């Protein structure tokens, strides 16, 4: 392989056999010139698969390293050895226990590779346990040692971190995700030694990933919104178990449509160390279509980390140079703050094409809009990428809006409709009102009966003052770039 690797972010990743790379919620280790990528594989009886590559681009499937058939051996503390709990259903999209976010460390003292992961029973996320497995080789068949609640705590999204002196830590979300707990592991990495820190209690952080640079620790996390992306955050500290900074923004309001998986240091042959952020781009309606995004991190100062979008990155493993390339898609998703759903064309191309706030499939074309400037004074057309037509307000012959809830999709030249909108009055978080030029009215999201979000809809109404005591503003929208 050459020294240069190009990674196409968000594209469907294929291994060297042309099969999808199944390494979600993953982790990377380097050994003998190879990167080993571990991650969730929920096909058939597989739980964790491992791939390897010398260039971060061509990934060879080394097989499922943890499966329902893996050997099971208890270790010295009390664990549940079930990999196939009774009455599992379909939350795992496969058989048996749900295994998420597997992370692997090499233990110098014992010569073993130790895997920590999140374990659920396959019916729900209520057991919230961690689990451990080990192997003598990096990509061999791991022996499963069982699952447990660390010091009795719930344990969901997790990661590990190995410090320079070999001390390892397990970090996981506890108390129904409210707190992030940092545990020091025993010398053999097989059990919990001590709970050493509670991070951001009550702040509901998920998807932790830790790195260390010039003596400073960085921890990147997401907020807690299921499979949908949210604003990432990072914090820094000069001591993993000491005081940490407050959470600071990492990436944009969807972390470029990703959730953190891990950060991998890339040591170039020239001796330079770069850091790559790896995030999962989940497809909430089709887990198996979820993909991956790799972005270089930059450090404006010793205590700051920054991530920026790149459609593709080219990494020269010899010099350590990472070349990002950005291509503006010009597409947006429009998310209602009131209903937390996305504007989507419900009946594309049909006579009655209507628009509704909805999450159909997060990645679906029905949710993509082109925000197209149409006048010099900032007015835009909102053109559906899927349908090709524009969001419109029907007008009476005198130019009045005809009634509420009558949004349509039309070609821009139709005179009985107005297709000009302005995105205005952005609040501190950049959330806007979407006002029709012809009518002065604004888009407003309504929930279905009894507050049913699944039946949320969008209509056009007079602007109303919003009282935050009544929840989120139904007349505010977030215009998110599609990456």
| DSSP summary character for residue 231 | -
SS3 450: helix
Pull the structure tokens for residue 232. Answer: 């990432």
Q: Is 287 in the site for ligand DGJ (CB under 6 A)?
A: no
CB 248 within 8 A of CB 379: no
Give the nearer residue to ligand DGJ in terms of CB position, either 156 or 333: 156
From candidates 127, 157, 420, 473, binder to ligand DGJ by CB under 6 A: 157
From candidates 9, 15, 21, 25, binder to ligand DGJ by CB under 6 A: 25
Taking the complex as a whole, the smallest distance from the CB of residue 25 to ligand DGJ amounts, in Å, to 5
Taking the complex as a whole, the smallest distance from the CB of residue 135 to ligand DGJ amounts, in Å, to 23
Taking the complex as a whole, the smallest distance from the CB of residue 172 to ligand DGJ amounts, in Å, to 11
CB 77 within 8 A of CB 151: no
SS3 367: helix
SS3 50: strand
From candidates 18, 111, 215, 226, binder to ligand DGJ by CB under 6 A: 226
CB 120 within 8 A of CB 91: yes
Q: Is 100 in the site for ligand DGJ (CB under 6 A)?
A: yes
Closest CA to 209 of 251, 151, 267: 251
Q: Is 179 in the site for ligand DGJ (CB under 6 A)?
A: no
User: φ, ψ for residue 470 (rounded to 5)?
Assistant: -95, 20
Taking the complex as a whole, the smallest distance from the CB of residue 337 to ligand DGJ amounts, in Å, to 21
Taking the complex as a whole, the smallest distance from the CB of residue 108 to ligand DGJ amounts, in Å, to 29
Query: Within positions 349 to 408, which residues make up the interface with ligand DGJ, using CB under 6 A?
Result: none
Q: Is 15 in the site for ligand DGJ (CB under 6 A)?
A: no
Sequence-distant (6+) residues with CB within 8 A of 3 are: 55, 269, 316, 317, 318, 319
Taking the complex as a whole, the smallest distance from the CB of residue 94 to ligand DGJ amounts, in Å, to 14
Give the nearer residue to ligand DGJ in terms of CB position, either 204 or 417: 204
Give the nearer residue to ligand DGJ in terms of CB position, either 25 or 122: 25
Q: Is 101 in the site for ligand DGJ (CB under 6 A)?
A: yes
d(CA 457, CA 383): 18
Give the nearer residue to ligand DGJ in terms of CB position, either 286 or 323: 286
d(CA 211, CA 260): 12
DSSP-derived pairing of the beta strands 34-40 and 206-213: unpaired
From candidates 155, 253, 259, 291, binder to ligand DGJ by CB under 6 A: 259
Taking the complex as a whole, the smallest distance from the CB of residue 381 to ligand DGJ amounts, in Å, to 35
Query: Within positions 180 to 219, which residues make up the interface with ligand DGJ, using CB under 6 A?
Result: 206-207
SS3 151: helix
Taking the complex as a whole, the smallest distance from the CB of residue 262 to ligand DGJ amounts, in Å, to 12
CB 402 within 8 A of CB 392: no
Give the nearer residue to ligand DGJ in terms of CB position, either 206 or 366: 206
Pull the structure tokens for residue 163. Answer: 């410090």
| Interface contacts to ligand DGJ, rule CB under 6 A | 25, 100-101, 157, 206-207, 226-227, 259
């Amino acid at each position: 392989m050459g020294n240069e690797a190009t990674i196409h972010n968000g594209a469907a990743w294929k291994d060297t056999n042309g099969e999808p790379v199944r390494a979600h919620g993953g982790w990377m280790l380097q050994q003998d010139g190879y990167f080993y990528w571990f991650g969730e594989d929920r096909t058939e009886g597989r739980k964790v698969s491992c791939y390897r590559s010398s260039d971060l681009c061509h990934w060879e499937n080394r097989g499922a390293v943890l499966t329902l058939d893996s050997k099971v051996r208890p270790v010295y503390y009390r664990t549940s050895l079930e990999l196939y709990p009774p009455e599992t259903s379909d939350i795992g999209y496969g058989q048996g226990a749900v295994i998420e976010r597997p992370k692997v460390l090499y233990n110098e003292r014992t010569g073993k590779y130790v895997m920590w992961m999140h374990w659920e029973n396959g019916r729900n996320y209520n057991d919230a346990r961690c689990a451990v497995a080990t192997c003598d080789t990096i990509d061999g068949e791991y022996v499963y040692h069982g699952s447990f609640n660390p010091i009795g705590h719930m344990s969901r999204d997790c990661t590990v971190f190995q410090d320079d002196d070999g001390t390892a830590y397990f970090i996981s979300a506890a108390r129904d995700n409210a707190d992030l707990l940092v545990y020091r592991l025993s010398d053999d990495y097989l059990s919990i030694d001590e709970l050493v820190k509670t991070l951001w209690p009550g702040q509901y952080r998920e998807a932790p990933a830790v790195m260390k640079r010039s003596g400073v620790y960085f921890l990147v996390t997401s907020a807690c919104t299921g499979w949908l992306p949210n604003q990432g955050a990072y914090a820094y500290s000069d001591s993993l178990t000491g005081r940490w900074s407050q959470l600071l923004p990492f990436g944009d309001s969807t972390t470029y449509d990703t959730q953190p998986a891990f950060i991998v240091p890339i040591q170039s042959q020239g001796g330079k160390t770069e850091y790559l952020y790896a995030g999962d781009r989940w497809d909430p309606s089709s887990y198996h279509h979820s993909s991956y995004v790799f972005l270089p991190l930059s450090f404006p100062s010793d205590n700051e980390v920054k991530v920026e979008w790149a459609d593709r990155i080219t990494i020269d493993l010899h010099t350590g140079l990472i070349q990002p390339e950005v291509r503006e898609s010009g597409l947006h998703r429009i998310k209602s703050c009131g209903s937390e759903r996305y504007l989507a064309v419900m009946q594309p191309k049909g006579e009655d094409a209507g628009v509704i706030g909805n999450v159909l499939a997060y990645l679906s074309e029905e949710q993509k809009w082109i925000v197209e400037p149409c006048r010099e004074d900032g007015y835009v057309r909102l053109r559906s990428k899927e349908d090709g037509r524009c969001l419109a307000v029907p007008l009476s012959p005198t130019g009045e809006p005809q009634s509420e809830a009558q949004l349509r999709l039309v070609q821009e030249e139709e005179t009985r409709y107005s297709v000009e909108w302005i995105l205005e009055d952005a609040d501190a978080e950049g959330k806007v009102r979407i006002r029709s030029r012809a009518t002065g009215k604004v888009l407003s999201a309504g929930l279905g009966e009894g507050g049913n979000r699944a039946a949320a809809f969008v209509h056009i109404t007079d602007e109303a003052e919003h009282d935050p005591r009544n929840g989120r503003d139904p007349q505010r929208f977030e215009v998110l770039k599609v990456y």
